[in-house]
Structure 1
């Protein structure tokens, strides 16, 4: 079906996009036929990849499909895609040549050779008094440069993607589609409106020889497979995908490299040559207008929500444009959502501290066991693409007040680049959240984990899913839709996908009653909705300071200033955990309170000027058993618990009275001890949520504690020395001079108490002495084991000490950022 690219025109009176037939490089308008199936807030959807023929069920149709792919018939030929040419003999050789010839790489090789010559001269290897000194020096430099040229050629050859054979890519597409549709039996769904927009942008980018930078979220290895399939199916040039070399194992690594993967190390260390090679390759791709893809979060999210942005590859992309080596590129944030993520069971083990297994072919092949499962569908959404150059110019005007101009070099300073990277990273995350679709499994998981009690009847489950769907839409979110299917049918499909391992049915009751079996794993799906309600959750958790007191309405009412203080505190400590609205604390807080008032969840008291003075629960919410208020609390309480746990564990890093070292401890051992403390507190009833011990959230807590200056962390230049951590001296708690016990007082203790105010009440929670005695004693017992016998191992080298001082100075310059909420 290679042919002309048709342009859609609106038809009818409806505001929805027309039905489309999306095949290869051709888009065909179809008569409106199923308009009534589209909800008011839904885009028209197209299932790009549906069930393909199976040999056992239909051998003739199966053989026909195979023959069409082998022969490259119709759209399968992939002949008229939009973008720069990537499939031709010699593509890889040309790319290697272009990368090796970049000026920045050649300049770096010359610099490194010169530095090595100077080192050898200082060691006496080259004698300046020798008559042939100049000649020998030049010969030695040539040898060094030639060696680095050869090394660079090998590194580039191992790194670059090698998409140079259409028969291979056609076969890879067919195989990937077969595997994906076996696991996700309802196919891949996209928005036809977004696809039309993306194709128009791609056509302009092709004309201007500009790259489209796809920046997807990352929840599964299926992410890059699904996006490659979509680009192939829509007739867009396949992007080069940044991939960690941990996936570059025999057989699979070569397959992925020829399907679009470029391999990079997980860590570059101080290897400036390798860093320059990566920059040179990215420059070459972007200068050539080749599409590019990397995951904004770096690794896969094990928790279900977006992770903070990683700036490594973004920094390379930014450097390309700030330096002037690349004129412009198009940024396209992408959201990929699943009814069920294949890897969630493995994620639970990793979050509980079980070491991640190294990828290998055996495990890869064993994953085929999931291919017989019915995991529902994949929904992929594309945010409206935007120009990176225009974004930088807008930030330039905002930061330094300079009107838009062609020159961007004034932005290339460390401070401004840091701000640009953060702003760009969080804008992409916000864009991804804006187009994300909430799947039925996420609705079910959220409802089950935000209700009091062990289980819920089907009628109540339906009511709360409908309520949550309405709230998602009211917040500007999108809910996956299934035509005219009744909500009960959609819920049953979601329950079937989740399976009995996550949600089980109690038999023999008058009404079907469901309960969460694996709350830890189910929290992955609940976390897919939390970004929509983070402002309401922060306000509700802050109100809990008074609500948990019980009594009448007057006793549970909180003053506006007290609420604002706690909201500010919580939003600060969670600013690396969640994506907040961008209007600022005062505006967001007032908007949230007015929204809760309109929903009849809170009652606001105002003064004569209309300013809010106090907040309490609305009478309607009290009559409803606080179910909506509790919903918002249940969303954020596990994170409050986790950060409280992380802070309590810091108390255990306090050295004993007779300790002789500097307090430096192995970071990994400290974090492992935090998890051990959490597991103990959970089983003893002092921690309400087992998911609070998950490794990723505790790591995020440690990052925030370091940013606040509570914790000091240093990574040695020596790779053999693990990262070390200690409490900042001004935050270190005191010990009783006679007993040596930790004292429940001081700056860190007050910080812990501020978090604890918004914790969910539970066993022993009302007795403050429980935490200040038994929990603190347990924390100290676990912490003491970290120091060993003498403690002299916790002393930094002089070099690392200087590195720490430099890091602390840089940290102080960056402190003072206001809360993002």
Structure 2
């Protein structure tokens, strides 16, 4: 039986805990239901006893943790010794004495000494010059070491007390299983494999680097609980120091957090200190964890990889300071994410609140009574980082042992960046490969990909059943609920989502559901989009002809036209989605054949079997285009958002009487794009309110910068915000008499190219009216941006300094060279 036909491979709850015993069950295990017993969940951890309802059991549990009975003692875990008195001091000493850090301190002392000599503090004609210089250098080095020592103490994780970690485990399990009442689920096969890898890593003195997806603060809590419960050494978790506030910060630091700044700036001492700490951990074989996406995903799908911490890890390997480490990508999925309501607020442009103890306590207490379903954690097969780097370098004909990759040359910098990029996207692909689709994601996806106000219970079940089959056919996994009927699973999902997200119309012939909060529900829809991104791109590329109406022959699109639009959209969303690695031609061919086999499209081929044109199949037309529309609905909000971002750039065309370039605050430009989007949505020119979300607009602006459509500069002063300017060749034309923006030029053609795949709307057919109204509004908002930038009271200069101009020129040149070397498809 093939993997695609093996439904048992999806089973998640394969681990049973009874008292002090763990039973790891094979994936095909199905428990015989006992008479009189309801279908029960088997999870890594279940609800713990509560004092009010079960006082005796509660007191027994507490006594077991206090005494450290059985696995709770955490004595025989796999990995390097942690949680003993003096651990923190030993780690701090190892970091500050690292050769790399000592060399940096010496270098900084030399620079400071040279500066003081130039300023006349030390005179070479002084008879005691040598002695004074030596003494002064010693003082400077001592001062820098003191600073490094304080930074290290603030940064490092402090695994000191097993009594503390036993209590922390009990407390966190109580909190988590009250919020996620169905517990944490894992796969027995993956856990067994991970334990074997951990045993081998311990034998070789190697670290396991966990690289999880990041959707919630619960991610790192669940990882620590799993490692503790399964007897693996807890990883040190990279965490932003914004969470290091009183009480909570100390608790997290003793439970595994290492604090790093959100931005390093030009602080070379701090940068070297982070590298020295990571070197020390990897050299010592301590487990390590960082989030591949950097911050939490506010949209539900994986974010592009962040290379900050990965670059430190890669440097440890390339320099030879660390022989090897084991990489383990991790997927964490939720029935419902605690923070989604807050995410929506942030995505709509409300500034994120700084974390504090009061909010933490009030927020923590508010989720204790929630029933958010379960957490599914999946571990990809771990792989050797050294082996991966060697393979990549061999592909580039640059084996690791034949050249010095530590020297700071442009060629080495480009090579390192390529290694980082390929590694980052490999990890994301691995995470997608093992991710499971939760019932809430199935429900959210179906509700947001159907036409009409609502859907009946029967139709909802039918479409979810179809979606489950499509997920499995694409190699994805669906969360396993034993032998529970689909209707029960869906009811459970609807209950978890709650009436604030999915409403039910009462008093009808059958239960009928509708999306109450489409914006928040889109978070769950986005959890499935990675599986169908190729089909979605093909469908909306076909839509450029389908939307024109007419007979089937009139709606067909040539293979050449389809390929060009798919290539354009793939390039447009390069930073938004994780695409298959086979390449455009192979992936397009595979996708078209798959859609043909599913009866969605019809392919016209010549006598040699080459595809000439593509159209909707008769079967799909008779079914009301429901499967074809599903793929379009998945990606239409992202197309809307990219169209909105590109349209907002029209407003960055300078006024007709402006002689010099005015640089606009990036955040203000993106805020204006959001305001434009909200206005257009309420006026009917934008179909999806989630298209105005800050994250997607920000990604679009980043993509436009990569392609040279806009230029952006960052000041050396951290307090000065980044600024942008529309490239000269992309600026729209203005009427020479009135100064009004005109719907013509390179940028407008680009906007129209995106618009050709947009969903048809009530105001979408009269192109002239839309272009006039939208451009008028865009121009008015753009004029406000220029007025603010040029205002006398503005603290940030609206023009570039000579130094910034030179730096921008170098950056633009480097970006053009990079695009040429990459040989990728461009916009």
CA distance in 2, matches of 1:363, 1:537: 40
Closer, same or farther: CA 232–98 of 1 in aligned 2, 3 Å: same
Corresponding residue of 1:11: none
Name the structure 2 match of 1:150: 146
Which residue number in structure 2 is paired with residue 525 of structure 1? 524
Matched residue count: 802
The verdict on how the C-alpha distance between 1:53 and 1:45 changes in structure 2, with shifts beyond 3 A counting, is: closer
| Cα 1:192–1:407 shift into 2, 3 Å | farther
Q: CA deviation at 1:667?
A: 0.7
Q: Which residue of 2 aligns with 1:35?
A: 30
SS in 1 for 2:327: strand
Task: Kindly report the root-mean-square deviation, in angstroms, between the aligned alpha carbons of the 2 structures.
Answer: 2.1
Alignment check: 8 A CA contact 2:10 2:480 kept: no
**Structure 1: 5+ residue runs without aligned partners?**
1-13, 39-43
Q: Which SS does the other structure have where 1:656 is aligned? A: coil
1:217 and 2:213 matched:
yes
In the alignment, the residues of structure 1 paired with residue 579 and residue 63 of structure 2 have an alpha-carbon distance, to the nearest angstrom, of: 51
Q: Is the 8 A contact 1:308 1:576 kept in 2?
A: yes
Residue 297 of structure 1 corresponds to: 293
Alpha carbons of structure 1 residues 748 and 16: separation in structure 2 relative to 1, 3 Å: closer
Question: 1:512 aligned to 2:511?
Answer: yes
Whether 1:334 aligns to 2:330 is yes
CA distance in 2, matches of 1:391, 1:583: 19
Cα shift readout 1:316-349 (whole Å, capped 9, x = no counterpart): 0000000000000000000000000000000000
Q: 1:632 corresponds to which residue?
A: 631
**Match status 1:175 vs 2:171:** yes
1:818 is displaced (CA, Å) by 5.0
Change in CA separation of 1:30 and 1:469 when aligned onto 2, cut-off 3 Å: closer
Q: Is the 8 A contact 1:216 1:294 kept in 2?
A: yes
**CA shift for structure 1 position 282:** 0.4
Query: Is the 8 Å Cα contact of residues 713 and 722 (structure 2) preserved in structure 1?
Result: yes
**Structure 1 residues 411 and 111, CA gap change in structure 2 (3 angstroms):** closer
In the alignment, structure 1 residue 784 sits paired with structure 2 residue 779: no
1:382 aligns with 2:379: yes
Deviations 1:346-375 (A, max 9, x none): 000000000000000111011111110100
Match status 1:89 vs 2:85:
yes
Aligned pairs for 1:149-298 within 5 A: 149-298=145-294
TM-score by length of 2: 0.94
Shift of 1:74: 0.5
How far apart are the structure 1 equivalents of 2:186 and 2:747?
49
Alignment check: 8 A CA contact 2:317 2:386 kept: yes
Does 1:311 find its partner at 2:315? Answer: no
Partner residue of 2:613?
614
In the TM superposition, what is the alpha-carbon distance from 1:390 to its structure 2 partner? 0.4
Partner Cα separation in structure 1 for residue 214 and residue 25 of structure 2: 34
Change (3 A) 1:25 1:809: farther
Task: Tell me the equivalent position of 1:100.
Answer: 96
Mapped to 1, the partners of 2:407 and 2:105 lie a distance apart of 27
Task: Show structure 2 runs of 5+ residues with no match.
Answer: 1-7, 34-39, 792-796
Name the counterpart of 2:818.
814
Residue 443 of structure 1 aligns with which residue? 442
Partner of 1:570: 569
**Deviation, structure 1 residue 539:** 0.3
Q: CA deviation at 1:819?
A: 5.2
Question: Which moved further from structure 2: 130-139 or 55-64?
Answer: 130-139
Q: Which moved more, 1:551-560 or 1:810-819?
A: 810-819
Confirm or deny that 1:398 pairs with 2:395. Answer: yes
2:17, 2:43 within 8 Å by CA — same for their partners in 1?
A: no
Residues 419-439 of structure 1, C-alpha deviation per residue, up to 9 Å, x if partnerless? 000000000000000000000
The alpha-carbon deviation at position 56 of structure 1 amounts to 1.0
- Listed one character per residue, the Cα deviations across residues 606-625 of structure 1 (whole Å, up to 9, x for unaligned) are 01110101000000000000
The question of whether the paired residues in 1 share the 8 Å contact of 2:16 and 2:43 is answered with no
Which of 776, 794, 797 is equivalent to 2:798?
794
- SS in structure 2 of the partner of residue 523 of structure 1: helix
How far 1:788 sits from its partner (Å)? Answer: 1.3
Which residue does 1:693 correspond to in 2? 692
Aligned counterparts of 2:553 and 2:502: Cα–Cα separation in 1: 40
Q: Which residue of 2 aligns with 1:466?
A: 465
What is the match of residue 772 of structure 1? 771
C-alpha separation between the residues in 2 aligned to 1:462 and 1:266? 45
Structure 1: distance between partners of 2:750 and 2:27: 60
Match of 1:733 in 2: 732
Q: Residue 553 of structure 1 aligns to a residue in which SS?
A: coil
Q: What is the rounded CA distance, in whole Å, between the counterparts of 2:299 and 2:634 in structure 1?
A: 13
* Secondary structure, counterpart of 2:624 in structure 1: coil
Distance 1:208 1:638, change over 3 A: same
C-alpha deviation, 1:721, in angstroms: 1.8
Counterpart of 2:5 in structure 1 is none
TM-score (structure 1 length as normaliser): 0.95
Distance 1:188 1:87 in 2: 24
1:679: Cα distance to partner? Answer: 0.4
After superposition, the C-alpha distances for 1:756-776 in whole angstroms (9 at most, x for unaligned) are 110001022111112321100
For the pair 1:702 / 2:701, whether they are aligned, the reply is yes
8 A Cα contact 2:240 2:260, kept in partner: yes
What corresponds to 2:720 in structure 1?
721
406-415 vs 279-288, which moves further: 406-415
Shift of 1:405: 5.4
DSSP-derived class of the 2:342 partner: helix
Q: Equivalent residue of 1:546, what SS?
A: helix
Q: How does 1:66-77 map to 2 (within 5 A)?
A: 66-77=62-73
Does the 8 A contact of 1:22 with 1:234 survive in 2?
no
Distance, in Å, in 2 between the alignment partners of 1:497 and 1:529 is 18
Q: Is the Cα–Cα contact under 8 Å of residues 215 and 428 in structure 1 kept in the other structure?
A: yes
Determine the structure 2 residue equivalent to 1:803. 807
Question: What is aligned with 1:744?
Answer: 743
Residue number in structure 2 paired with 1:3: none
1:494 corresponds to which residue?
Answer: 493
**For residues 295 and 739 of structure 1, do their structure 2 counterparts lie closer, same or farther at Cα, with a shift above 3 Å needed?**
same
CA distance in 2: counterparts of 1:305 and 1:710, whole angstroms:
26
What is the distance in 1 between the residues matched to 2:201 and 2:18?
A: 21
1:16 and 1:248 mapped to 2: Cα distance?
A: 38
Shift of residue 125 of structure 1? 2.1
Distance in 2 of aligned mates of 1:285 and 1:473: 39
Q: Within 1, Cα distance between the matches of 2:732 and 2:554? A: 34
**Contact 1:303/1:527 (<8 A) preserved:** yes
**Take 1:392 and 1:707, find their aligned partners in 2: how far apart are those partners?**
26
Q: Report if the CA contact (8 A) 1:571-1:819 is conserved.
A: no
**Structure 1 residues 254, 27: CA separation in 2 closer, same or farther (over 3 Å shift)?**
same
Shift of 1:409: 3.8
Aligned mates of 1:46, 1:489 — CA distance in 2: 17
| Mapped partners of 1:347, 1:30: distance in 2 | 37
